[in-house]
Chain A
């Protein structure tokens, strides 16, 4: 390799890549430590044998499924509507309202949902005026799901929006001219073309939802136990070997999900053909 390239990449390799790889290897090694013993698989067998852990893995995945389904269903028409906007003020306002929350701390956004959803919060006092409720919306899964959809929606809108922008308008017109009905235009032309964007949105939302920590712990009030919370609690209890196993399982889950979705995206691109 040319020498000057070495000088360019060495700082990044030493400061970021090295500690990253070393820290993952550390938890890999520590998952095999019990007491003073190394090479002991008790942490792994203990995790796999305990039904409670499987329940937590299932709760984590279920939260991921529910949040991803709702987020993608909301994001798809939102991105479609955004891509169709013509008025410059409307475009600027909509983009700001949808993407600016990404710059605001997740704690602030979660606290906002706490204010909206609590027993005396804005939602319950408003629906009380038409004689409904009050509904218990915090300290259970409902509140966490609503807040996570809010936190993750911009991540889903972004890939969908760039996919919609790549679909030429004359594809629609051509389909209509050739006599396709409107639902046929959507299901046979537009939807297959937007599928790679839809899958990319689902991939990132799912990966972020199963690894989320702040929103489920604050709005769950200790009643939602996800894998990330288990890891955090085990540090406090000094169960580092067990926490290492849980961290590796969470990492494996996310890696599998991301790889699976990327395969699907390749398939969708091949089948739908790339617009443009």
Chain B
């Protein structure tokens, strides 16, 4: 649409620029999918022949499957723990002004600013020095992932809590419910979309994490992204493209499932609430 003082040429220029940016953003991802069917093991482009052999190689390549199982266990643990810890913390931060609230909030958000490599290295040193049996275990990796996903989860959840009317909870209390009952019956049902958005973020953050995880894995316990990273250091054949394509399809499913689970319009609201709150920090 044209607006005051704008020529048709301006509108064209703007849209052509946007299209170039969209091509730039989509190109590497489209190419990964196309290349997974490229018969050339040197990724020669354009492909002379098409093949599904890279998927066959992928399905029989055990390290990726072991890694995927570990990643799945870690991502589910991270999601559950992030919500279990994040919901009460976000509730307290959104509802009450208590001593230490500002410090707690900035400490929960701090891992967003600290480089992931530094978090991974520091946790590695902490696990070793404090002789905690967490280095090289899936529990230790999940702990680091909870640390990384909690800031986003608390931001999204506290934005949701602010929109929930406290009088409903008070009414439930007046009718004889205790604090926990009042929370689960009057507050939690309204939190559904926030839980889905925060949970999806936590799951994807954990499943894709490389830079912190790299310091906490052991040779016997690698996650899928770490296995892929090490594979890529030495070879770049299209089996990696096949693995990437499988990952892209899985991500699509996760997002679709989350969209179906939460109501789409509510999710959009809780996302934009989260975005506006994030700016406030």
Contacts and interface: CB of A to CB of B under 8 A. Distances in A.
A118 B31 contact: no
A130 to B, nearest CB: 15
Interface in A203-233: 207, 210-211, 213-214, 217-218, 228, 231-232
B241 interface: yes
A260 interface: no
A211 B29 contact: no
Contacts of B91: 8
B209 to A, nearest CB: 9
Interface string A233-276: 00100001001100100110011001000000000000000000
Contacts of B232: 107, 110-111, 114, 218
A113 B28 contact: yes
Contact of B31 (A16, A77, A101, A112): A112
Interface in A103-132: 103-116, 118, 120-122, 125
Interface in B231-275: 232-233, 236, 240-241, 244, 247-248, 251, 255, 275
Contact of A122 (B45, B129, B225, B244): B45
Given A5-B98, A12-B89, A254-B113, A24 B122 contact: yes
Contacts of B93: 9
Nearest to A93: B22
Interface stretch (B79-87, B164-172, B189-197): B79-87
A205 to B, nearest CB: 13
B150 A106 contact: no
A193 B29 CA distance: 35
Contact of B125 (A5, A110, A244): A244
B104 A9 contact: yes
A107 B119 contact: no
Contacts of A29: 129
B115 A211 contact: yes
B247 A19 contact: no
B261 to A, nearest CB: 16
Given A103-B251, A213-B116, A115 B121 contact: no
A150 B22 CA distance: 11
Contacts of A24: 114, 122
A22 interface: yes
B88 A11 contact: yes
Contacts of A147: 28
Nearest to B103: A17
B18 A81 contact: yes
A12 to B, nearest CB: 4
Contact of B98 (A1, A77, A111, A213): A1
Contacts of B46: 122, 125
Contacts of A37: none
Contacts, number: 250
Given A103-B255, A112-B31, A84 B14 contact: yes
Contacts of A243: 121
A73 B130 CA distance: 46
B117 interface: yes
Contacts of B68: none
Contact of B104 (A13, A94, A105, A228): A13
A141 B108 CA distance: 35
B228 interface: yes
A101 B42 CA distance: 25
B5 interface: yes
Given A213-B117, A251-B118, A84 B22 contact: no
Contacts of A214: 210-211, 229
Nearest to A21: B107
A30 B275 CA distance: 38
Contacts of B215: 232, 235
A9 B31 contact: no
Contacts of B115: 207, 210-211, 228, 250-251, 254
Given A159-B279, A254-B114, 10 more contacts: A1-B98, A20-B111, A27-B118, A80-B14, A105-B247, A111-B241, A121-B43, A176-B4, A211-B211, A244-B125
What are the 7 tightest A-B residue pairs by CB atom distance, in nearest-first order? A112-B28, A211-B115, A23-B126, A23-B122, A12-B89, A8-B88, A8-B92
6 contacts: A8-B91, A12-B150, A12-B154, A111-B236, A116-B27, A172-B3
